[in-house]
Amino acid sequence: MSVRVLVTGGTGLVGQGIEYVIENEPANSHFGKRDGEEWFFIGSSEADLRNQEQTRKLFEKYKPTHVIHLAALVGGLFANMARKLDFLRDNILINDNVLHTAHEFKVKKVISCLSTCVYPDKVEYPLDETKIHLGLPHESNFGYAHAKRLVDIQNRAYKDQFGDNFTSAIPTNVFGPHDNFDMESAHVLPALIHRCYLSKKNNTPFVVWGSGKPLRQFIYSRDLAKLFVWMLRNYDSVEPLILSVGEDEEVSIKQAADAVVNAVGFTGEYRFDTTKADGQFRKPASNKKLLELVKDTGFAFTPFDKALDETVQWFLRNYNNARIGKPQ
Ligand code: NAP
Ligand code: GDP
């Protein structure tokens, strides 16, 4: 039976991670491409998924049997704070079009991508798969969080009413090659890599936004990619699945910035701009359910420093083509 996997958001950080894993892991292994599979990695130039007609045409063209739905308006804390309505509306439209078109085209499985940002701000830690809807999200990203939470509700409604096999993955903060390195809108690691690179090049102070005290769990995009491939082949429950390193692997923003300084080889002045927001203090997520499920696959997380080093090397090699925002 032929398997046709459409990856929306296939040109982005996570999508490119999946393409890398599919092409570079041994064929027919747990994570490599299998005989009979075809993979299609789609960006916004092929279809604006906020538009229903363009979404339909995309599905008509590729006739997917499976969808990994990553496409989203995505950004770091400061983009989320500045554009709450865009994050709400664009993501509601994209998700509704993709899920409903997948339903109409009788797609066998859809895995959509949520985020630990969608969790309640005030809830008992660690976060697990049962706690998404137990309170309001942090105000800094309530647009994005509410749009993404709705995907879980839609998945359950499609299953209840039609028996569709739609589910969702919940990654923590992702980083890796092909990230958005635009310092204004990016997530913390790509923003700091870019800023530290410029500080080294121009011999200027390296400035980290906020107090450096908040804690985050970081997952390497190529590790996350393996987990998506595993989910596509093995996970058939509507219940979401957290894809994360362990809750004991939280890293402070200061530790992350120190690691960036090391990886970039910066030796100049380094300080924190405490006039900038810290966002949510922490959001530790449990990967207990995940580890039990993947225990026989040989999956292992890449050590943080190694993954960061690979990301910095990719950034340096691809500076001219990477997403770096306005020229500096
Ligand atoms: P990304 O690098 O910014 O990529 C976003 C992707 O979505 C790109 O392929 C982009 O296409 C596509 N896209 C955006 N708007 C679109 C539209 N209107 N129509 C069609 N395609 C559109 O983001 P990412 O970090 O890979 O995020 C992938 C998924 O992971 C998202 O669902 C995000 O919410 C989730 N996630 C990310 C993180 C993180 O830390 N990055 C953490 C948790 C969850 P073009 O580039 O071709 O425009
Ligand atoms: P979040 O996990 O959704 O909050 O997303 P981010 O990846 O944007 O991380 C935000 C945390 O990193 C906050 O504590 C920020 O204060 C801190 N941070 C430090 N420097 C930067 C920066 O240049 N960009 C971003 N986005 N965050 C930064």
326 confidence band (pLDDT: 50, 70, 90): confident
The encoded tokens of residue 61 equal 């063209």
Q: Whose atoms come closest to the Cα of 323: which ligand? A: 1
User: Of ligand 1's atoms, which has the minimum distance to the CA of residue 112?
Assistant: 32
| Catalytic annotation, residues | 144
Answer yes or no: pTM beyond 0.85.
yes
Q: From CA 60, how far away is CA 132, in angstroms rounded?
A: 33
User: Of ligand 1's atoms, which has the minimum distance to the CA of residue 187?
Assistant: 40
Q: Residue 276: CB partners within 8 Å, gap ≥ 6? A: 78, 209, 210
* Alpha helices per DSSP H over 184-287: 188-202, 221-234, 253-264
Cβ neighbours around 259 below 10 Å, total: 19
328 confidence band (pLDDT: 50, 70, 90): low
Query: What's the CA dihedral at 229, 230, 231, 236 to 10 degrees?
Result: 130
191 confidence band (pLDDT: 50, 70, 90): very high
Q: How high does pLDDT run on average in the chain?
A: 97
Give the domain ranges of the chain: 3-179+218-247+284-302
Which helix (H) or strand (E) covers residue 17, if one does? helix 13-24
Instruction: Show the ligand 2 pocket: residues with CB < 6 angstroms.
Output: 76-78, 117, 173, 186-188, 191-192, 208-210, 214, 216, 253, 276-280
User: Of ligand 2's atoms, which has the minimum distance to the CA of residue 76?
Assistant: 8
The alpha carbon of 24 and the centre of ligand 2 are apart by a number of angstroms equal to 31
Judge if the beta carbon of residue 229 lies within 6 A of ligand 1: no
pLDDT digits (tens, 9 = 90+) for 115-169: 999 999 999 999 999 999 999 999 999 999 999 999 999 999 999 999 999 999 9
Judge if the beta carbon of residue 187 lies within 6 A of ligand 1: yes
pLDDT digits (tens, 9 = 90+) for 81-122: 999 999 999 999 999 999 999 999 999 999 999 999 999 999
Q: Domain 3-179+218-247+284-302, what architecture? A: 3-Layer(aba) Sandwich (3.40)
Judge if the beta carbon of residue 49 lies within 6 A of ligand 1: yes
The encoded tokens of residue 50 equal 């906020």
The alpha carbon of 20 and the centre of ligand 1 are apart by a number of angstroms equal to 16
With H, G, I as helix, E, B as strand and everything else as coil, classify residue 109.
strand
Q: Whose atoms come closest to the Cα of 112: which ligand? A: 1
Judge if the beta carbon of residue 186 lies within 6 A of ligand 1: no
